[in-house]
Each structure stands twice: as structure tokens, then as C-alpha cells.
Chains A and B, each alone.
Chain A
Amino acid sequence: MRVEDVVCTFCGCLCDDLVIETDGKKIVGVENGCTLANEKFMGDHRLKSPIRREGDRWSEVSLNDAIREAAEILLDADRPLLYGWSGTHGEAQSVGVHLAEILGGVIDNTSTVCHGPSIMAIQEVGHPGCTLGQVKNRADVVLYWGANPIEAHPRHLSRYTTYADGFFVKNSFRERKLVVVDVRETESAALADEFVRIEPGGDYAVLSALRAIVRGRGEVITGPVAGVSREQLVRVADLCMKAKFGAIFFGLGLTMSPGKNKNIRNAIELTEELNRHTKFTISPMRGHWNVYGSNEVFCWITGYPYAVDFARGIAFYNPGETTSVDILRREECDACLVVASDPGAHFPRACAEHLARIPTIQIDPHVNATTHLCRLQIPVAVTGIDAEGTAYRMDGVPIRTRKLFDGDHPSDTEILERIYAIVKEAKGA
């Protein structure tokens, strides 16, 4: 069967123009997808049944027993951590937040190690953003700062920027100027009209220098700043000020580098300065396909976008204290539920060591690094293939993902609702 307008559930672009050919419960063809999408849809490497570890031995376990054991582990814990959530649909995320509340635990999503600092900055100074459609149709200057879309968001350039003709930008490749700012001369940098190479850790200083120039105080810049010549800084600032509509997209090169949230605040305030001259916007390049959705869902229910601690009986949020890496580093949590992410691979080693010490449960379709650390894993359907639900694109636009066929596994929502029901009954809530 041929299914059109399929939504790709890999990165934050949520491309919604894929054409998928299915043969029963197998995907046999993908059109319009990037390399990442092709691997996502054509790959079939699911864990077949729930597994549990007792001592050094792994064995298969029934779904009912796995769900019961997962609930018991969470009920026994004094300070459970519920982590992940960015690789599943909003409906499952919602159940996860309610589960954290009834347990009095901490719930955190993968923003904590991607754009958490961006959210902290946005909470300080706001977010002058826009939808990707606005960028496509209007932007004549685009900056990628600390982002490498060719490798991380392969169709971002062809759908929204350099290679995407728009309503007011008829010949995008010629009319749209591309600036890439990075510490490495990446493949994305190779496409740029202007590549700005910054010394590692120099982003804050370069942003401040650009702000000074845009503010009309360029004379305070007397020489190179973090490896960037004064001439290039003036050239880039002029290019931005002369734009009809400019768009900055920033990645983890800003959020993970020294300064972190203050880098983003500075970038937002540069955008504010540029708006004294022209129209400029700034947007994070969100990684997981529904990480934005996890922020939305957490906010609706708790008022906070990630790192939400229910230990006090109310929602409490304090990055640096209630964030997963800090909780694991302090060896604070005594059980962990991992849903749709892989902290074993993507958290520092000290955190992985604590995940191995405590009873860790994973709900994920695939064997990943966290599998080796956990006590119990429950495989689920893959949203966008054999499960469906709501996701949020990197610009905050909600998009309904589609189920292509009925698979052999339950969805995240179904598993989490069953765990929640057991916990609710035990709590007498």
C-alpha cells in the first residue's frame, strides 16, 4: 500500500511530505526522506518481547508481568526519576506527567541535555521566533549558529532555507544569504556565503561584539574577537542590518558551550537589537522529533517545560537541581523510568553508573545503550509507523503523526496508562 503525506518522526523538522510503501507489517519503500528518515522507516530492529534481568541473566517476560513489575518498582521508590519523553507522542507524555505527580517523583525530558538552556534564556528575555513557513517565504538572510543542519536536520535547508524558494524569495539559492557560525568548518559551513569560525567557548564574546556594532558602538571592537576578525564582524553585522527579513537558527553549539543559557540570552538580545533596524527572528534547532511537544505538554499540566519535581506535592522547577544529570550525579533517585530516549548513551558516564545501580525500567522499541543498564525493558510501537499521536515541530506547530499499519506492540500510551492504573489503585487515589 502506498501512503502519502507521511510525517517523519526522526528530527524536529517533522517533514510531512514522505511517501511510504508498505507490504503488510513491513515498510518496503520511502520517498522524499533524508538519510535519517530512510533508516528510521526501513530499519526493522525491534526488541521482540519484554525482557528482564535478574542478577547477570536476561530472560523474556510476559507483558502483563513486565507492567506489574514496572509499577511495583516505581511504587517502592522514594524518589523516582521519569526521564526521556521526546521520542513519543504527546498523549503518552501527558500520562507520564500524571504518573510523576501521583508518585511524587521528578519528570524530565531530553531538553535537559539539548535546549534546556535555551528555555532558561527564553524565560528571562522572551522568544522573538516565527514559524518555518515565515522563514521560507520571507527570509533573505539566514544564520545557523552552532548548528550543523546537513548532518542533524538534513532537509532543513531544502524545505525552509537555502534551497527552498518562497513567496517573496523567488530564487532562494541566489537571493538568500547564508551565514554559518561554528567552531568547526562543517559541511553546512561549506555551503555558506560567509563562514564565521569561532574559537571554542567564544560565542558569548562574538555575540556581544555583534551587538555592539549593531548598536552603533563598533569602535569598542579594536581587534579580533574569539578568533573572528573585526572586518568580518562588521561585514556580518551589516549583512544582518540590511536584510529585509533575517532568521537565526541556533543549535547545541550555543547551549552546550561555556555560557550556556547566557549565550542564548545574548543571541536573543542581538536579535532584539537587529529589530531596531529590520525584522529578525531567532529559533532553536530542536533535535528529537517531539522534544518541543514534551515542553508543551509539561507546561500545560505543570506550568514548567522540563525538570519538574513533584516531591513537595506541587510542581517545582529549578534547572541545576531538578535536572536529570544533576539528580543522577548526586545519586539521588532510587528508581528510574526511561521512556523513548537513551540516557545510557547520551548522559555522562557517572550518570550511567547510577542508572545501573538503581532499578531502571525502559520503555523503548529498540535495544540501545540503556538496555544494558536497565532491569526491565518493555518494547512498544514506533510512533509514526505503528502508533499515532500528536507531535510539535521545532517551531511549535502541532502535527498529527500517522499510523501506517497495526503492529505487534502496544503504544507508549497504552503501557503507561496500564502502569498508571496500577499505581493509582495502590495509592488509593
Chain B
Amino acid sequence: MTFVLITGRTIVQGSYVERKSHPDYHVEASALHMNPVDMLEHDLEEGSTVLVSSDAGKVVLQARPSTLLQRGELFVCLGPYANHLVGPGTRGTGMPDFKTTAVTIEPTDDPVPGVAELMRRCGGVPYEG
């Protein structure tokens, strides 16, 4: 089943915007908000790890039920996790498709990577200081 990934602001994400190494930022930015019925159908519980894939990439996220969403919709707050899925094409506008990325999901036992690890996968070197 293909889902539509919507990204956007949350107040917790905003609160930690200057502390992206904090564990609470990691939890918020890697939360995969899903309609509870979709979670039931995919045999997912709150906190289940899910491999989310798009044409642009893959990333492991943690499922979180949300009644704000319709079935078939997923929400991840803006940040490095969502951006592992959003493609860099802008259709001549400069703006990527942050609100309508087509993704698929599958349960996984892999852990959710940290922000520094995500950046290492992009070719960076984590700064631990």
C-alpha cells in the first residue's frame, strides 16, 4: 500500500530546534504519525519501528497513532528524518514536494538512527562535543 507523507511543524519539534542532539528531539522528529486503523492493519503498535521508503531514500521511524490523519496519510515533523524521504526535485520552483511524498512502509526490527548517525550516512562526521 502506498501512503502519502505530509511533513510539518509541531510545537515539540520547534521547542528543540536549537537542541537537535537532545533525545527528545530524536523521538519527536522520528515519530511516524499514522491513522490508528492503518496501524492495526499493518500490525503496528505505538513505538513499533517501521522502515519507510520513498523514491528518494529509506529511514527507520517509530509509529505513533494520530487521529488527526485520514487513512492512507502519514505525518512526520519537518527535520532530518522526513528529509531522508523527500526528493530534491522542485519542479522549477525551488521548493521540494514536502507535503505529498509517496512512501511505503514495512515493519522492521532495525533501530531508529540518531540525528548524528543520519548525517554520517550523508557523508558527515558526527560532532560529539
The reply to whether chain A is a binding partner of chain B is yes
Q: Which residues of A contact B (CB under 8 A)?
A: 10-11, 35-36, 39-40, 43, 45, 47, 51, 53, 56, 58, 112-113, 116-117, 120, 148, 150-152, 154, 183-186, 197, 200-201, 252-253, 255-258, 260-261, 287, 307, 319-320, 323-326, 328-329, 342, 344-353, 355-357, 365-369, 371-374
Supplied contacts A350-B87, A367-B21, 20 more A-B pairs, CB within 8 Å: A39-B18, A58-B128, A151-B9, A184-B8, A184-B73, A252-B8, A258-B97, A260-B95, A319-B93, A323-B95, A325-B96, A345-B80, A347-B88, A348-B83, A349-B56, A349-B84, A352-B124, A366-B19, A367-B129, A373-B124
Q: Are B125 and A113 in contact (CB under 8 A)?
A: no
Minimum CB–CB distance for B36 against chain A, Å? 14
Bin the interface of chain B by size: 35 or more
Q: Are A200 and B100 in contact (CB under 8 A)?
A: yes
Q: How distant is the Cα of A82 from the Cα of B80 in the complex, in angstroms?
A: 21
Task: Decide: A39 and B15 in contact? CB cutoff 8 A.
Answer: yes
Among residues of B, the one whose C-beta sits closest to the C-beta of A353 is: B122
| Cα separation A367 to B15 with both chains bound (whole Å) | 15
B65 within 8 A of A: no
Cα–Cα distance between A173 and B46 once the two chains are bound (Å): 37
Nearest A residue to B67, CB-CB: A185
A346 engages B94 (CB within 8 Å):
no
Question: Are A151 and B10 neighbours in the complex by a CB distance under 8 Å?
Answer: yes
| A-binding segment of B37-45, B103-111, B112-120 | B112-120
> Distance (Å) between the CB of B84 and the closest chain A CB?
5
B47 interfacial contact with A, CB 8 Å: no
Cβ of B57 within 8 Å of any chain A Cβ, yes or no, is yes
CB contact list, B56-81 vs A, under 8 A: 56-57, 67-70, 73, 75, 78-80
Given A319-B93, A329-B88, check contact A345 B9 (CB 8 Å). Answer: no
Which chain A positions have C-beta within 8 A of B86? 348-349
